[in-house]
């Protein structure tokens, strides 16, 4: 079944959040699928030289991409798409078996040039704005902490943003997202690497799937599994992002699952 075409005029005349300082409507929108409610927030980085360039690109019909909000380095927030509409930010993605992430989510682009062009820390003012915006969206839509995700979580084979320098621990302390203190990395523990197989690999794949990642459970540490492990590490154990199954990664993931407020529903 084909999705509806975007409307001729964007539906955005007043901001959904009082935190948005600017409106810059994007035409790259459509209706959310019937029966879907907004219960997920996806955080991205822009991967562009400036927020102004990102906003321009996200507003061009030929780009075929958009997001609900862009947060600049100084914390200034621009809204591009009404929260009631389906923005085109997630792409091919999956979480807890759901593949139409765009119909479930609000997408926030955070200004950072990205890994290929001088990836740097996210300034304090920017992080405060991201936290405030997520709290505001979460309160209005009832988004649970574990439903605030990285683009790399939902699309690990394609995306690595917002990356290992994004301070998820600080964000959780501000009331946004799900986090546990990761088990310290043991430099002597190389873990299982590419080509490994057996019960330990199957256990790791099962834990990743339990948390929500799209991961096969065939017991082989193949490239797709490594990519998912890296995505998990990048978000929840950023001290070493290597795609290996070591004690720190397994223990951190197990602890994270145990800390969930209630069992996940498949």
Residue 128 within any structural domain of the chain: yes
* Domain termination residue (choose one: 173, 205, 238): 173
Task: Judge if 78 and 51 occupy the same domain.
Answer: yes
263/197 Cα distance (integer angstroms): 28
Angle at 177 between CA 43 and CA 233, to 5 degrees: 75
User: pLDDT category, 12, cuts 50, 70, 90?
Assistant: confident
Q: Which of 83, 109, 146, 164 is catalytic?
A: 109
- Residue 86 has what pLDDT? 97
**Is 109 a catalytic site residue?**
yes
At 76, list the tokens: 């200034």
At 62, list the tokens: 């030929």
Task: Judge if 42 and 118 occupy the same domain.
Answer: yes
Tell me the backbone φ, ψ of residue 127, rounded to 5 degrees. Answer: -65, -40
- Residue 263 has what pLDDT? 56
Mean local confidence (pLDDT), 149-173: 98
Task: Judge if 202 and 73 occupy the same domain.
Answer: no
State the total domains in the chain: 2
pLDDT digits (tens, 9 = 90+) for 88-139: 999 999 999 999 999 999 999 999 999 999 999 999 999 999 999 999 999 9
Task: Judge if 107 and 38 occupy the same domain.
Answer: yes
Task: Judge if 167 and 185 occupy the same domain.
Answer: no
Task: Judge if 253 and 202 occupy the same domain.
Answer: yes
User: pLDDT category, 7, cuts 50, 70, 90?
Assistant: very low
CATH of the domain at 33: 3.40.80.10
Residue 236 within any structural domain of the chain: yes
Task: Judge if 155 and 61 occupy the same domain.
Answer: yes
Task: Judge if 117 and 152 occupy the same domain.
Answer: yes
The pTM for the full model equals 0.93
Task: Judge if 161 and 33 occupy the same domain.
Answer: yes
Containing 255, the helix (H) or strand (E) segment is: helix 247-258
DSSP secondary structure letter of residue 150: E
* Domain termination residue (choose one: 173, 197, 222): 173
Mean pLDDT for the chain? 94
Residues written for the chain: 266
- Residue 10 has what pLDDT? 52
Mean local confidence (pLDDT), 211-227: 96
Q: Residue 264 above 60 pLDDT?
A: no
Q: Is the alpha carbon torsion for 169, 171, 176, 177 positive or negative?
A: negative
* Domain termination residue (choose one: 173, 192, 218): 173
Task: Judge if 99 and 45 occupy the same domain.
Answer: yes
Q: Do 207 and 253 meet the contact criterion of CB atoms below 8 Å apart?
A: yes
Query: Can you give the residue range of the structural domain that contains 54?
Result: 22-173
Residue 9 within any structural domain of the chain: no
CATH of the domain at 264: 1.10.101.10
Residue 12 within any structural domain of the chain: no
Nearest to 160 by CA among 230, 81, 91: 230
């Amino acid at each position: 079944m084909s999705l509806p075409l975007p409307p001729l005029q964007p539906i955005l005349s007043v901001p959904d959040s009082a935190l948005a300082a600017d409106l810059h409507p994007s035409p790259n929108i459509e209706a959310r699928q019937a029966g879907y409610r907004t219960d997920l927030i996806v955080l991205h980085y822009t991967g562009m030289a400036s927020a102004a360039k990102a906003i321009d690109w996200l507003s061009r019909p030929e780009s075929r991409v958009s997001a609900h909000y862009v947060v600049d380095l100084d914390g200034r927030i621009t809204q591009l798409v009404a929260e009631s509409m389906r923005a085109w930010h997630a792409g091919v993605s999956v979480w807890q078996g759901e593949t139409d992430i765009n119909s479930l989510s609000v997408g926030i682009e955070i200004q950072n040039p990205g890994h290929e062009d001088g990836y740097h820390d996210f300034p304090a003012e920017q992080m405060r704005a991201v936290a405030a915006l997520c709290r505001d969206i979460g309160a209005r839509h009832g988004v649970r902490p574990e439903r605030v995700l990285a683009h790399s979580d939902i699309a690990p084979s394609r995306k690595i943003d917002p990356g290992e320098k994004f301070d998820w621990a600080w964000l959780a302390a501000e009331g946004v997202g799900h986090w546990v203190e990761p088990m310290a990395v043991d430099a002597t523990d190389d873990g299982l690497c590419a080509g490994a197989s057996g019960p330990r690999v199957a256990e790791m794949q099962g834990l990743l799937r339990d948390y929500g990642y799209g991961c096969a459970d065939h017991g082989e540490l193949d490239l797709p599994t490594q990519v998912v492990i890296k995505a998990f590490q990048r978000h929840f154990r950023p001290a070493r992002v290597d795609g290996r199954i070591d004690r720190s990664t397994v223990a951190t993931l197990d602890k994270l699952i145990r800390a969930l407020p209630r069992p996940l529903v498949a």
